[in-house]
């Protein structure tokens, strides 16, 4: 009965479909996350309210669990695919060139993903696992964390890596899920690139601003 699931997850296309669909869902999460974070710019009170609202949701644990599942699935598929691909060309070419289609973004997906993952670890520690995170007001936590130049650096790098990752990922996910049409594909490609830049700038703006305003003040 479950043979088909096994077959699907063992196939190159199945794995990538899973990677693509989880990726798209994660992009959805990122958009919502950024939208929420932007409330910081409306004032600390608004942000705190938003955070408390989220914290009070009953389904939060479930949502977090599902989100974690998305990450785990996405990352597992990425690792499997990368390992497979490493082995697929045991002897490398002496001269590396191309016909010009691959991009920095497409060739560094694993690395950019890894950087995002490292950032994620730090991010969770700062805001979710760290003891202080539960004691202070959310906006204050952010302020404390991001006024540390090192942390701010990591956050900015994380945002840049995310941008690189998404630059390729968005349109690529559609191709992997079988959506390719002369009418829509060029639009999706551009939409993906614009989205990548917006998300990267959006997330990078927080550490930048905190760092500049705090760091500049001292």
Partner 1 sequence: MSAEKTMKLNLKIWRQKNADSNGSIEDFQLDGVSTDMSFLEMLDVLNEQLISAGREPIAFDHDCREGVCGCCGAVVNGQVHGPDEETTLCQLHMRRFHDGDTIQIEPWRSRAFPVIKDLIVDRTAFERIQQAGGFVSVSTGSAPDANTISIPTRDAEKAFDFAECIGCGGCVAACPNGAAMLFTAAKVAQLVTLPQGKLERSSRVLTMVERMDAEGFGDCTNHYECSAACPKGVPIEAIAVMNREYLRATFLSPEGA
SS3 category, 54 = helix
**Rg (the chain; Cα; Å):** 20
Q: Which is nearer to partner 1, 18 or 139 (CB)?
A: 18
Q: Which is nearer to partner 1, 3 or 218 (CB)?
A: 3
- The rounded distance, in Å, linking the Cα atoms of 30 and 32 is 5
DSSP 58: T
- The rounded distance, in Å, linking the Cα atoms of 142 and 50 is 14
Distance of CA 33 to the CA centre of its chain: 11
Give the footprint of partner 1 on this chain (CB under 8 A).
3-4, 7-8, 10-17, 81, 84-85, 87-103, 106-107, 109, 168, 171-172, 175-182
Q: How far is the CB of 178 from partner 1 (least distance, A)?
A: 3
Q: How far is the CB of 35 from partner 1 (least distance, A)?
A: 28
Q: Which is nearer to partner 1, 42 or 181 (CB)?
A: 181
Q: How far is the CB of 113 from partner 1 (least distance, A)?
A: 11
The answer for residues whose C-beta is within 8 angstroms of residue 90's C-beta and 6 or more apart is: none
Q: How far is the CB of 184 from partner 1 (least distance, A)?
A: 11
Q: How far is the CB of 185 from partner 1 (least distance, A)?
A: 8
- The rounded distance, in Å, linking the Cα atoms of 196 and 162 is 8
């Amino acid at each position: 009965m479950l043979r088909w699931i096994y077959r699907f997850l063992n196939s190159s296309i199945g794995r990538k479909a899973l990677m693509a669909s989880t990726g798209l869902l994660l992009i959805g999460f990122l958009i919502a996350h950024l939208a929420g974070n932007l409330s910081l710019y409306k004032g600390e009170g608004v942000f705190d309210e938003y955070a408390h609202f989220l914290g009070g949701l009953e389904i939060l644990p479930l949502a977090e669990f599902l989100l974690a599942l998305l990450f785990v699935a996405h990352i597992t598929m990425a690792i499997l695919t990368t390992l497979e691909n490493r082995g697929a060309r045991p002897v490398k070419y002496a001269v590396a060139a191309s016909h010009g289609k691959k991009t920095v973004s497409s060739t560094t997906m694993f690395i950019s993903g890894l950087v995002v993952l490292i950032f994620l670890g730090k991010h969770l520690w700062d805001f979710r696992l760290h003891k202080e995170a539960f004691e202070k007001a959310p906006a204050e936590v952010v302020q404390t964390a991001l006024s540390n130049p090192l942390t701010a650096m990591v956050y900015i790098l994380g945002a840049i890596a995310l941008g690189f990752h998404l630059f390729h990922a968005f349109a690529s996910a559609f191709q992997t899920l079988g959506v390719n049409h002369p009418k829509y594909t060029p639009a999706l490609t551009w939409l993906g690139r614009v989205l990548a830049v917006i998300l990267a700038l959006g997330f990078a703006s927080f550490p930048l601003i905190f760092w500049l305003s705090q760091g500049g003040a001292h």
